[in-house]
Amino acid sequence: MAPKTPSSLPLCEIKYRKNYISRVIELFILFLLFSLLAYRFLTLKFHGLQWLLALICESWFTFIWILTVSTKWNQVEPTTYPLRLLERTSKFPAVDIFVTTADPVLEPPLITINTVLSLLAVDYPANKLACYVSDDGASIVTYYSLVEASKFAKLWVPFCKKYNIALRAPFRYFSGNSSPPQDSSQEFQQDWTRMKDEYKQLCKKIEDASTQEPETFDFAGDFAVFSNIQQKNHPTIIKVILENKEGVADGLLHLVYISREKRPKHPHQFKAGAMNVLTRVSGVMTNAPFMLNVDCDMYANNPQVVLHAMCYFLGAKDEIDCGFVQFPQFFYDGLKEDPYGNQLKVLHEYFGRGVSGIQGPFYQGSGCFHRRKVIYGSSPYEKITAGELKDEYIQKTYGMSEKLSTSIAKTLLEGSNIIEQFNSDCPSSSIEVAHQVGSCGFEFGTAWGQKLGWLYGTVTEDVLTGLFIQSRGWKSAYCLPDPPAFLGCAPAAGPASMIQQKRWATGLFEILFNSKSPIIGTLFGKLQLRQCMAYLQIQLWALRSIFEVCYAILPAYCLITNSHFLPQANEPSIVIPALIFIIYNLYGLSEYIRANEPIIAWMNNQRIWRVNAMSAWLFGILSATTKLLGFSETAFEVTKKDQNDTNSDIGRFTFDDSPIFVPGTAILLLNLSALFIGVLDFKKGNNIEWGLGEVICIMWIVFVFWAFLKGFFAKGKYGIPTSSILKAGALALLLVHLFKFKQ
């Protein structure tokens, strides 16, 4: 047989894991759960309220486990071959890159410019790329930082490509390296030293600007537009910072700053609104057929990231298989042993690979390449002819802009060539129309945010948008290059981590009541049933909190009322819950070991996911419910992006006076009180109904909330505020009295 030529070799391959043993264990756990439910149901008439409550909670946990098993059933091993792509062609489609930032305090400009610099230096023809930075904070500091970074980029990008630097975010490249490698050439050492000095100067300029009072800035020239504006009340600001006028492949790509118009009485739709403005502005400026969006803290860790994505887009047998390409979110400088459970390595390793084996990964809001026509609302196999794209239809659907209408028609038209689809005119020639499509009133009466673009109605616009894309029949691709494509920074404090979890739980739960929910998508759209089940697994986080809290209270209730919700130790049926507890935890531990994670990371994640469920997710359902009932509006809470922290206590759980810590503190106090009451009853020689099972459950609750227990005795940010302890204590005392009254 003749060897395959580069043109016949696949650009991407997807293989399925042979996870037969895992499937058997998961099914055995499911069998045990059904056995427990059957036992509960058959013996319900012999027991009281606690038995019924346990049956309800365990029925819910069984349902969640079914969703989990279904999602993890077909795990994929994706592989891409960028070298084959380079051998096959020298003509590549264009890509518009979107970087979003919202607050210069919570998202320091130094983080943003490092992300931008890493993207400016990727291995891809510069004349096929354009980078758009959306600044929802309308910050002069952010704009100044980008201007200064563009000057540094003229040195940094050629340096990276000349020496084939693997890590192209300068703050990561120079971190911990006080001098260049000794075995390198003299020329490289000189260039390296020069780059580091230039980067230090850049950092100093940005840090000095960040500490300046706004009124001390020189608002002359390009900065004049930032004078006398407010963060939530200003006109559209668009500045072309870099422009590849000659269309040079090895030059610098276009760099455009955008701060969309905001007015106090006009809803700006959070990040989704910013993404739609970026889509329209880029549509009139460059109109690339593909778009990459990244958060300001997710720098390009792999310089061939665009080539990896193109292996899917250009190598797919049918474009329906690749509506978007999602790279998983990994994090740099992750805290040792993952004390906040937010590095999500194991979640990506099993759940992420599993959902990718159904209809493709969820859209995660960052590190994702989109087909522009999919964002414009196109469905698979939809053949749009020129006759269907009448000006009246386009303007009613997409907005009143002749140039935008022309670019949209070019994108959607059947048979359009994605290699040639790129506006070769300089971005600066489209500034006027870009201001028009970036105005806050442009979307009025159009389908933006409803049927096309990034969808409105939730703070998790990424999941809703991806769900709508897949409900139209598109599949998505999961790309896992080595090294990882993007790395970001995860919250390194308890309050920030909790706020993030609350926002996710709120937004995901809101989607269930949206007209584009996964259930609607399966019944009336083209979302596969198992993909719907995968979406439900995460969208029910908030609702799950109610059952988690109830189950955590059950052992305390039993010790206080001298009852039991588990079979007695001398009953054969005690084997069922004991096996579930042991096998489930050992299986979870094995997943961490197989993912090369330490045992302590598994313990930390066990604790924090229960804490999140009974604290952040509980507030998530309260927030979502009040919004759905019309009592309030959901607020988009930006997560603080932490820079390097040299504190020796980094990773130690921190608290603040937020009410989000009250439920967890109350649950811990309630269980400790119940244990104390139970011990007193035991010493008095009373007839004891509760058994070892209930005591073990209480000790497990104490283990879960161990950080809270230590917080009782710590001071400063490591201690639980007195006000929170008093509120939690009052709540726990109330429950104790209610339980005693029931007795």
Instruction: Lay out the sheet containing 299-300: strands in order across.
Output: 299-300, 486-488, 330-331
SS3 237: strand
| Identified catalytic residue from 135, 136, 191, 297 | 136
Beta-sheet pairing, 12-16 with 76-80: antiparallel
Q: Which token pair is 120?
A: 């400016």
**Range 35-43 contact pairs with CB under 8 angstroms and sequence separation of 24 or more:** 35/576, 36/576, 36/577, 36/580, 37/62, 39/567, 39/573, 39/576
For the chain, helix (H) and strand (E) counts, in that order, are 27, 13
Strands 12-16 and 324-326: unpaired
**Unique residue bearing structure tokens 């096929």:** 128
Active site residue 183: no
Cis check: omega of the bond before 180, within 30 degrees of 0: no
| Cα gap 498→505, rounded to integer Å | 10
Bridge partner residues of 78 (DSSP): 14
Q: How far is residue 24's CA from residue 625's CA, in Å, rounded to a whole number?
A: 38
How are the residues of the chain apportioned to helix, strand and coil, as percentages rounded to the nearest 5?
A: 55, 10, 40
Task: For residues 682 and 59, give the distance between their C-alpha atoms in angstroms, rounded to a whole number.
Answer: 32
For residue 482, indicate whether it is catalytic: no
Whole-angstrom distance, CA of residue 639 vs CA of residue 397? 34
Question: Which parts of 473-629 fold into alpha helices (H)?
Answer: 494-512, 518-524, 529-539, 541-561, 575-594, 599-614, 616-628
Cβ atoms of residues 67 and 33 within 8 Å? no
Task: Choose the catalytic residue: 103, 338, 462, 642.
Answer: 462
Burial class from Cβ neighbours inside 10 Å (0-12, 13-18, 19+) for residue 299 reads buried
Q: Tell me the binding residues.
A: 107, 136, 271, 295
Is the separation of the CB atoms in 434 and 420 below 8 Å? no
Specify binding-site residues for Mn(2+): 271, 295
Asked if 236 and 260 touch (Cβ cutoff 8 Å), the reply is yes
Q: Which amino acid is at 394?
A: I
Catalytic positions are: 136, 462
